[in-house]
Structure 1
Amino acid sequence: MLTSLLSPPVTPAVRLSFHRRSMELQKPLSTVTMAFTVVAFVIFVIARAQVTGLELPLWPRLMCALALSLLVAAIPRATSTFVFGLIGAAYVVVLQIGVMMNVTGVEQPLYWMLPAGMVVPICAAPLWLTPRHFVLGTTAFYMAGIPFVFSVPFTHDDWVLCAMWVAIGIPTATTFHFGFYWFRLNHFLLEEKLIALAATDPLTQLLNRRAFLEQAGQMLSAPRSGDEIVSAIFLDVDRFKSLNDQYGHARGDDALLQVTQVIKGAIPPEAIAGRLGGEEFAVLVPTAGTHQATELADSLRIRIAGILRPDGFLTASFGVAHRRGHETAIALLDRADEALLRAKHAGRNRVFVERVSSVARVRATAIDENIDAQADATPGADSVRHWGPFELSTHFQPLYSLSHQKQVGFEVLLRGRDHEGQPVQPELLFAPQSNPDVIELDSLTHHLHFNNARKRLPQDTWLFLNVAPSTFIQPGYEQTLANMASAAGLNPGSIVLEILESEGVSAEELALAAWRYRGCGFLIAVDDFGAGHSNLDRLLRIQPDFVKLDGELIRAKSRASDQPLLSTIVSLLHRADMLVVVEGIETTEELVLAVESNVDFAQGFLLGRPSANIPAADAVMRRIDHAFDVIAEGRIARASRFEAQLSPYLAMVRAAAAALSDGAQVHEAIAPMTAFALCRRCFVLDQTGRIVGQEFVGQAGPGGDFRLGPLRSTQSARWDHRPYYWKAVANMGTAVFCQPYLSLTSGRASVGVTMAVQRDGEVMVVGSELDWTSPHLAWPAGE
């Protein structure tokens, strides 16, 4: 009852863990305290001999001191809390016996006994490991003193002294023990809570990344029996960002909790699971064969696909890898992550197993340790310039042609250090300056970059040079820059001038200046398109040779279909005769998207950090080549899945076209099409692309964007400009389909399936517009 009042309620297992940990922590303290008590006992024996002047038989007292010393030596070797408490009880009993022997034969022995009888229980109270130890040990101590009490004639004063002894000693010892025990227990519980918080994800209560890797390391280092191997399952919830953006983070958190329940309910007890970040989870499981991990991953995929989300069902993509030799947990997870990447690019909601060959790390943001080392390299004294208290130097960041798979250019970046050698950001160098000072600093920077590029720039590569707009529009600076380049031995035709973002310079001024620089042979690039004040009109006026897209455009997606917009943006710029550079490539997923979107050049930390030296390119080439392989594999898988999903609808159109050719009325021929799940509208078009009769609403209609109400009636519409019409006419008698497009009647992503036939000497096109917004539907690579 007393322990329940003085300590928080805990389970027996937690209390046992607390006692074991307390024993390990308390062993040094108990050893030192008990050893000191042995010394005090010996001093007590010497004091007795000196004060009373009596000759003492030393051997019983020395035997007590020896027994106490042996018990002290046994404390560090205690293997359980029971043994630890037993040693403590034996110690206080022997100590009590020794004290009693030492006071035997003196006048008023009770006064000699008082210090030990009072101090020992009080000082020992905090050292008892558990309340049970305290009660039993203290009782044993007093019980051992009973023979002494009965052997001493008591006076009235002696009874008062004993009463004071009991009244002060026992309550004080009890308070000390339970107060200290309560303090230690609360400290233990707080420590356990902090450990749990540091090791678990606060939302899902799964292991976080650090704790997962720690436990994974322990699992991999444990001995394995027979053919048992450890497999890693890496999973990523598909389209999770769209769930958060469209329906709120609360709905996203609920989805993650449901995924967590699926994982906990499906994995075996010996497996470990963790949330590694965002919507990414990992499972490490010992298996008897490689197929078991794949089956477990597929089971998880099926269960997750049963979780509802507002616009359908949740899905996840999986990568599976099996441990090779004695590789680390990081290496194993990297291969599972690479398989996950391929699964996502093959259309999501599927399980991919690792490749046999080794692959580059998917999550890396730097190619190798050499690049990181070079990024911090200190430039030589001949490669720097001074600007006030700052030392300026040049760093190079490579640009790669994705198709050529080689370094084709380097952006030169200004780096500054103060008088203490600490880095200073470029914006701090430029921001406080007046306009003339900015031009002067810009000129100094260009001179510095040209001299350094002459020493380090490889042959047949471009030099991308940042120019402040206020400097760029200065009359005559184009000739100054050309003279600088010539003096440094550089050809202006190999220099790309990057026009930086600016609020105070008009597009007309930039366009006129660009014309002058082109006359000197320079190439022009617009930097950070898609951020700040950049716009398409600005591009069309300046007509740059290169457009450097802001990294955020990589992550831009369609609101309804959640498909990336990068390929469309790149296609538009290509139509305007501009080459495209994507900046900010930091992950393999972004690199894959850049390659898939037909981006010309890429730049970012994944491909090389800014460095005072030119980094090697071999590792980057392997990474880019890997991205091409992922795309090729994914394109085939997505195309196959796309065609499989369209197959019943192509058969549907063939049946309707056959009925129409056989003389059936329009409504009779197309009415059966309305029963198919994805059909939004079904129609027959004449040779001018106009609707014959009326169109029919299918299972997926008539819902659409309420803003498009005036467009719902299509009786006067003409559709012969649409790919689904002219492709059908060009392939008469064959059912065809088109790429997904934005429907003008519903405002949603759609796919047209059509077939052209001859009837009464006229061309008629039978077709249906399919609702293609579900995340379970495949999107093929663009034509």
Structure 2
Amino acid sequence: MLSTSTKPLSDSGLRDRFHRRSLEHQRPLSTVTLAFTVVAFLCLVGARNMVNGPATPLAYRLSCALVLALLVMAIPRTSSTWTFGAIGVAYSLVLVAGLALNVSGVEHPLLWVLPAMVAIPICAAPLWLTPMHFFVGSALFYAAAFATLFGAPRTHDVDVVVWMWIVAIGVPTSAVFHFGFYRFRRNQFLLESQLAQLAATDPLTGLQNRRAFVKQAERRLEVIAPDERVSAIFLDIDSFKSLNDRFGHAVGDHALYEVAQVLMEGTSADDSVSRIGGEEFAVLLRDGLAGALALAERLRSAIAAIERPDGHLTASFGVAEHRSGESIMVLLDRADEALLRAKHSGRNRVCAERALPLELLQFDADAAYEEGGAAERRHRWEDYYLTSHFQPLYSLSHQKQVGFEALLRGEQDDGTLVPPVVLFAPRPSSDEGALDRASHAVHLANARKLLPGDAWLFLNILPATFIAEGYADRLAAIVRAVGLEPEQVILEILESHGGSVDDMSRAAALYREHGFLIAVDDFGAGQSNLDRLLRIRPDLVKLDGELIRATSHGTEQPILPKLVSLLHQAGMLVVVEGVETTEELILAVESNVDFAQGYLLGRPAAEIAPPESAHQRIDDAFDVIAQGRARQHALFESEVEPYRSALSRAADDLLAGVLMEQAFAALATLERCVSCFILNDSGRQIGNELRGPAWNGEAASLQPVANPQYARWDHRPYFRNAVLFPGVAVASNPYLSLASGRPCVAVTLAVQFATERAVVGVELDWSAVGLPWPAGD
């Protein structure tokens, strides 16, 4: 149970805080009370004007009211207890002066002033902040009152009444009011202080808890000077769970207490020390990274001297320095990332934060190049270097290089490449983001030197980095720092976890404000889907390399043309990756792909290769398509022609009055005929269809829609085209038949009977591998 003890406030600091807190509470109350007193004084002035006899000029008395009002207006602006007390004393003396001016010339002045002499000290008693204010203010009030109001001779009875009211009633009552109210305020303050301390303190160690630490740190960072340096230390006791499991929680609690004592003894009074939770502690200190690392090393050594039943305690430390505009949580996250590296690299050690990308650009340019005249910049990362390789992207229509994708590589001291399994090996979660940010700085620095000035730079970026708060501004600053413009950079969002679609959509808008273009990588794999594209609205979509080799089921026809058409209709340019053969390049050109990338056009390399050979390959692909389109069309038409002729003869027979079964008899015997049919002017089937050799009732798995008898088909292209060209047998592009579930081609012809127009047609099975398809829509 919390104590509300009324013991004296012996701590001067605590007493000062109490008086400042009281000042906050008293200002509104005093303002209202004293303003009411001004109104009461004006009423007294009005009452005096109603009494006959010589009176002090009204202007003098109203001047007192004006001074009282000005003192009331000054109360809300008081910032110290001394000023507040001085205003109270001045107010009481001016009030006495005003009373003296009002009662001057009246026949019985005591009738006017005696009630005020009693009531004013009693009403003012709770308003005095401190006993000193009360004693001084009350003494001056009574001294001024007796000097100005009780100068005239009085009878003995009158003196007895005056002293009885003032000494026996007024003074004791005001003292009781003041000290009672003062005691109440003090107990309330002590209770609040105790509650605040309990809410901010970890009960086991006596340190700040996480909430109090974060709140205090936020206040410190808000007022930090531009040249002031602040760092955070995050530490975690190694193998603490085993201590609890093997020796009991009492031993674990004692270890936590001893670590807390080490932290308290090893830090200064200006440092904030907290138990964040469990066996984790944090320190915020006014020092740079070097000073924080030195302190962390001393604390590590001190903790290592603490005994535990099976040896000695150890702790792992992560240290990070605050950066301008950074919140306390971001600072702690970076310190926590360093702590995780300390844990994963063996425990009982101190690790510093990783450098941010902007800092990577600040190393000495002369030192950035290795001996032997290496063309690219390299940055040290763990026990190897980070460098860039660039792979070209070509505009197929323009037949030229338009951009380069920057790919991260690791190099040993001797120049040999680090295997990707090592470079991108799983690490603590924040490491991946640090490597991602570092790669951007390395790529941008290298691109400025190596890439043509009019080329795009494709930068891979993880979703978690893409949506990180403030990274759009930071990356734009890095881009401009190396001499590029954001308009030259295309951010390629990788296929990875780490951000919701909503977050990425909002982040994309921020990057576009700077001028960046947005691309989505590996569409068609993993998390990629059409909803993701439509929400993010990238400028470019990079199709996964497998999509260029994907074919429809059964016919082995490529699906790339339809997919590219869909993305173009959504307003997105298309890049195909993984172009490795001439056939794949030809398909990309034929599918209206905008940009292509792959080993056939150029491998990733530290140097930019001449583009002439790739230009020739693309030009050759266009020639092959131009030559093959006519041949493809001729093959398709030759395959369809027998059915055109047979359908035309069947239509003539129908116009001549021959029955449907007889008119379609010859057509229904042809090899690829699935069924022959007649549709009325609204696209509904007339009578039953006549089935041909390609009909396969067992293969039709779509049983609920296998019967076309009551369906309406005037929305199908084969119906519309027949109506547009009446009397001409037209062949459709292959489509997936709803009745048979197979790719089919329809040959249709519009004829005019005596009473109505009809469309006669035949559906052909086009599912066999090797059948020619039209060259395009």
TM-score, normalised on structure 1?
A: 0.50
For 1:705 and 1:386, the matched residues in 2 are separated by 63
CA distance 1:429–1:564, change in 2 (3 Å): same
* From 464, 474, 477, the counterpart of 2:468: 474
* From 699, 716, 720, the counterpart of 1:722: 716
Could you tell me whether the CA contact under 8 Å between 2:632 and 2:774 is conserved in 1? yes
For 1:428 and 1:511, the matched residues in 2 are separated by 32
CA distance 1:521–1:401, change in 2 (3 Å): same
For 2:536 and 2:403, the matched residues in 1 are separated by 22
* From 761, 765, 770, the counterpart of 2:759: 765
Tell me which moved more, 429-438 or 538-547.
429-438
Q: Corresponding residue for 2:478?
A: 484
Question: What letter matches 1:778 in structure 2?
Answer: P
Larger Rg: 2
CA distance 1:378–1:397, change in 2 (3 Å): farther
For 2:719 and 2:372, the matched residues in 1 are separated by 63
Could you tell me whether the CA contact under 8 Å between 1:583 and 1:602 is conserved in 2? yes
Q: Does 1:666 find its partner at 2:660?
A: yes
Q: Corresponding residue for 1:778?
A: 772
Could you tell me whether the CA contact under 8 Å between 1:394 and 1:448 is conserved in 2? yes
Q: What secondary structure, in the 3-state scheme, does the structure 2 residue paired with 1:424 have? A: coil
CA distance 1:610–1:479, change in 2 (3 Å): same
Q: CA deviation at 1:421?
A: 3.2
Q: CA deviation at 1:775?
A: 2.4
Moved over 6 A (4+): none
Q: Does 1:442 find its partner at 2:436?
A: yes
CA distance 1:610–1:532, change in 2 (3 Å): same
Q: Corresponding residue for 1:324?
A: none
1:364-401 CA-to-partner distances (Å, cap 9, x unmatched) read: xxxxxxxxxxxxx9972761111121111111100001
* From 389, 395, 402, the counterpart of 1:401: 395
* From 675, 693, 703, the counterpart of 1:699: 693
Q: CA deviation at 1:743?
A: 0.6
* From 440, 444, 457, the counterpart of 2:451: 457
Q: CA deviation at 1:599?
A: 1.1
The 5 A counterparts of 1:731-742 are 731-742=725-736
Could you tell me whether the CA contact under 8 Å between 1:704 and 1:748 is conserved in 2? no
CA distance 1:704–1:566, change in 2 (3 Å): farther
Aligned-pair RMSD on alpha carbons?
A: 1.8
CA distance 1:524–1:725, change in 2 (3 Å): same
Q: Corresponding residue for 1:69?
A: none
1:172-211 CA-to-partner distances (Å, cap 9, x unmatched) read: xxxxxxxxxxxxxxxxxxxxxxxxxxxxxxxxxxxxxxxx
Q: CA deviation at 1:781?
A: 1.1
* From 537, 546, 566, the counterpart of 2:531: 537
Q: CA deviation at 1:480?
A: 0.6
For 1:415 and 1:757, the matched residues in 2 are separated by 68
Q: Which runs of 5+ in 1 are unaligned?
A: 1-376
For 1:581 and 1:428, the matched residues in 2 are separated by 29
Could you tell me whether the CA contact under 8 Å between 2:678 and 2:758 is conserved in 1? yes
Q: Corresponding residue for 1:614?
A: 608
CA distance 1:381–1:764, change in 2 (3 Å): closer
CA distance 1:757–1:379, change in 2 (3 Å): farther
For 1:520 and 1:657, the matched residues in 2 are separated by 65
Q: What secondary structure, in the 3-state scheme, does the structure 1 residue paired with 2:665 have? A: helix
Q: Corresponding residue for 2:142?
A: none
For 1:443 and 1:393, the matched residues in 2 are separated by 13
CA distance 1:391–1:490, change in 2 (3 Å): same
The 5 A counterparts of 1:407-418 are 407-418=401-412
Q: Corresponding residue for 1:509?
A: 503
Q: Does 1:750 find its partner at 2:744?
A: yes
Q: Which runs of 5+ in 2 are unaligned?
A: 1-370
Could you tell me whether the CA contact under 8 Å between 1:704 and 1:747 is conserved in 2? no
For 1:763 and 1:434, the matched residues in 2 are separated by 73
For 1:472 and 1:486, the matched residues in 2 are separated by 18
Q: Corresponding residue for 2:377?
A: 383
Could you tell me whether the CA contact under 8 Å between 1:435 and 1:470 is conserved in 2? no
Q: CA deviation at 1:533?
A: 2.3
Could you tell me whether the CA contact under 8 Å between 1:398 and 1:410 is conserved in 2? yes
Q: Corresponding residue for 1:494?
A: 488
Q: CA deviation at 1:761?
A: 4.4
For 1:669 and 1:461, the matched residues in 2 are separated by 65
Q: What secondary structure, in the 3-state scheme, does the structure 1 residue paired with 2:728 have? A: coil
The 5 A counterparts of 1:685-696 are 685-696=679-690
Q: What secondary structure, in the 3-state scheme, does the structure 1 residue paired with 2:525 have? A: coil
For 2:375 and 2:626, the matched residues in 1 are separated by 48
TM-score, normalised on structure 2?
A: 0.51
Question: What letter matches 1:463 in structure 2?
Answer: L
Q: Count residues in correspondence.
A: 407
1:247-290 CA-to-partner distances (Å, cap 9, x unmatched) read: xxxxxxxxxxxxxxxxxxxxxxxxxxxxxxxxxxxxxxxxxxxx
For 2:531 and 2:717, the matched residues in 1 are separated by 29
Question: What letter matches 2:482 in structure 1?
Answer: A
1:416-444 CA-to-partner distances (Å, cap 9, x unmatched) read: 11234331145533434333333333222
For 1:705 and 1:699, the matched residues in 2 are separated by 13
Q: Corresponding residue for 1:85?
A: none
For 2:386 and 2:676, the matched residues in 1 are separated by 68
Query: Higher relative CO (CA 8 A, sep ≥ 6), structure 1 or 2?
Result: 1
1:324-377 CA-to-partner distances (Å, cap 9, x unmatched) read: xxxxxxxxxxxxxxxxxxxxxxxxxxxxxxxxxxxxxxxxxxxxxxxxxxxxx9
Could you tell me whether the CA contact under 8 Å between 1:414 and 1:426 is conserved in 2? no
The 5 A counterparts of 1:6-405 are 380=374, 383-405=377-399
For 1:638 and 1:381, the matched residues in 2 are separated by 49
* From 592, 603, 628, the counterpart of 1:598: 592
Question: What letter matches 2:757 in structure 1?
Answer: V
Q: CA deviation at 1:564?
A: 1.1
CA distance 1:763–1:642, change in 2 (3 Å): same
Q: Corresponding residue for 2:144?
A: none
Could you tell me whether the CA contact under 8 Å between 2:384 and 2:412 is conserved in 1? yes
Q: Corresponding residue for 1:643?
A: 637
Q: Does 1:579 find its partner at 2:573?
A: yes
* From 704, 707, 712, the counterpart of 2:706: 712
Q: CA deviation at 1:678?
A: 0.9
Could you tell me whether the CA contact under 8 Å between 1:740 and 1:749 is conserved in 2? yes
Q: CA deviation at 1:670?
A: 2.5
Q: CA deviation at 1:412?
A: 0.8
CA distance 1:653–1:381, change in 2 (3 Å): closer
Q: CA deviation at 1:457?
A: 1.5
For 2:530 and 2:427, the matched residues in 1 are separated by 30
Q: What secondary structure, in the 3-state scheme, does the structure 1 residue paired with 2:473 have? A: helix
Q: Corresponding residue for 1:560?
A: 554
CA distance 1:418–1:704, change in 2 (3 Å): farther
Q: CA deviation at 1:577?
A: 1.2
Could you tell me whether the CA contact under 8 Å between 2:545 and 2:576 is conserved in 1? yes
Question: What letter matches 1:565 in structure 2?
Answer: I
For 1:741 and 1:638, the matched residues in 2 are separated by 18
For 2:382 and 2:713, the matched residues in 1 are separated by 67
Could you tell me whether the CA contact under 8 Å between 1:705 and 1:748 is conserved in 2? no
Q: Corresponding residue for 1:44?
A: none
Could you tell me whether the CA contact under 8 Å between 2:554 and 2:768 is conserved in 1? no
Identity %: 55
Tell me which moved more, 394-403 or 415-424.
415-424
CA distance 1:552–1:382, change in 2 (3 Å): closer
Q: What secondary structure, in the 3-state scheme, does the structure 1 residue paired with 2:387 have? A: strand
